[in-house]
C-alpha cells in the first residue's frame, strides 16, 4: 500500500488557513483520497492528554501574558501536543490516508521565536527542530505551505474575533503578530526543506487561493 502524504498549512492567525484546509480536504475526497485533518494546538486533555489543558490555560492568559512565560517552556507545551498526535498520524499515513494539518512545527518556531531577539532566531529554530523531530520523533511533513496575506486583512479578521471574544493572548497584540510575520519571512528565507510560500500582496478570492494550493499538489503528487 502506498503511504499517504502529510500536508501542513501554516500562517498567521486570521490568514484563512482553516478555510483552505476545508477546501483542500473536499478536493482530495473528490479524488477518492481519505484524509485526517488535525488542527493544532489542541486545547483539551480529551484531544491531547496532559498538554491540552495547559495549552488552553496559556492561551487564555492563566499563566500571565506572552512575556511572562519563557518561549522555550511554551514551545515544549506545543511540542508535547504534537507528540501526542504522532502515533495517529503515522498510523493513518501507513494506511494510505493523507494528513492535513492546520499548523505544525513551523508555528512553534514562528510564534515562540518571535518573542526572542533576532540574533537568537537561528539557534532557537535549530533547538525546536532537534526537540520535536529528534527527541520526540514526530513525523515530518511532505509539504508545508506558508500562507501570507496582507497584514490589514489579518488585522481586520482578528478584530472580528476580539469582538466575539474568540482571540487568545497571541492575537491580542498586533505588534507581536507583526513580529510573527517577520519570523515566518525568516523561515521562508532560511529553512528550505519541504516549505513552499504562497504570498499575496493583495486580498485574493478564497477559490483562487485554493486553486494555487491544488496546483502545488498537482505538480508534486498527481
CATH number of the CATH domain containing 194:
3.40.50.300
Residues 87 and 147: their CA atoms lie apart, in Å, by 27
131 within some domain:
yes
pLDDT category, 172, cuts 50, 70, 90?
confident
Nearest Cα to Cα of residue 199 among 217, 187, 185? 185
Instruction: For residues 86-108, give the mean pLDDT.
Output: 98
Q: Tell me: pLDDT of 68 over 80.
A: yes
DSSP-assigned letters across all residues of 149-192: --HHHHHHHHHHHHHTT---GGGG-HHHHHHHHHHHHHHHHH--
- Joined together, the cell numbers standing for residue 14 give 486570521
Domain that holds residue 14: 6-221
Q: Tell me: pLDDT of 191 over 90.
A: no
99 within some domain:
yes
pLDDT of residue 158: 87
94 within some domain:
yes
Q: Tell me: pLDDT of 147 over 60.
A: yes
- Is-contact 164 14, C-beta < 8 A? no
1 within some domain:
no
Q: Tell me: pLDDT of 109 over 70.
A: yes
The gap between the terminal CA atoms of the chain, to the nearest Å, is 17
73 within some domain:
yes
Instruction: For residues 16-30, give the mean pLDDT.
Output: 97
Nearest Cα to Cα of residue 149 among 16, 57, 5, 30? 16
pLDDT of residue 159: 83
pLDDT category, 26, cuts 50, 70, 90?
very high
pLDDT of residue 41: 97
Instruction: For residues 108-122, give the mean pLDDT.
Output: 97
Q: Tell me: pLDDT of 193 over 90.
A: no
Q: Answer with the residue of higher pLDDT: 41 or 160.
A: 41
**103: alpha, beta or left, given left = phi > 0 and alpha = psi -120 to 50?**
left
In the chain, the number of structural domains is 1
pLDDT of residue 103: 98
- Joined together, the cell numbers standing for residue 187 give 523561515
Amino acid at each position: 500500500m502506498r503511504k499517504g502524504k502529510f500536508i501542513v498549512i501554516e500562517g498567521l492567525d486570521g490568514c484563512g488557513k482553516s478555510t483552505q484546509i476545508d477546501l483542500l480536504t473536499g478536493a482530495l475526497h473528490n479524488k477518492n483520497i481519505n484524509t485526517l485533518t488535525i488542527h493544532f494546538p489542541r486545547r483539551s486533555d480529551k484531544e491531547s492528554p496532559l498538554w491540552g489543558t495547559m495549552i488552553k490555560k496559556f492561551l487564555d492568559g492563566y499563566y500571565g501574558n506572552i512575556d511572562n512565560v519563557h518561549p522555550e517552556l511554551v514551545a515544549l507545551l506545543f511540542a508535547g501536543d504534537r507528540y501526542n498526535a504522532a502515533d495517529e498520524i503515522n498510523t493513518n499515513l501507513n494506511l494510505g490516508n493523507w494528513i492535513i494539518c492546520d499548523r505544525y512545527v513551523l508555528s512553534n518556531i514562528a510564534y515562540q521565536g518571535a518573542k526572542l531577539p533576532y540574533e537568537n532566531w537561528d539557534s532557537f529554530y535549530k533547538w525546536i527542530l532537534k526537540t520535536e523531530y529528534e527527541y520526540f520523533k514526530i513525523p515530518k511533513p511532505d509539504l508545508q505551505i506558508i500562507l501570507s496575506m496582507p497584514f490589514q486583512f489579518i488585522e481586520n479578521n482578528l478584530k472580528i474575533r476580539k469582538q466575539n471574544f474568540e482571540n487568545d493572548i497571541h492575537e491580542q497584540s498586533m505588534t507581536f503578530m507583526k513580529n510573527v510575520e517577520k519570523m515566518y519571512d525568516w523561515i521562508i528565507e532560511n529553512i528550505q526543506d519541504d516549505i513552499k510560500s504562497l504570498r499575496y500582496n493583495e486580498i485574493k478570492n478564497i477559490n483562487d487561493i485554493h486553486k494555487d494550493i491544488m496546483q502545488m499538489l498537482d505538480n508534486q503528487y498527481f
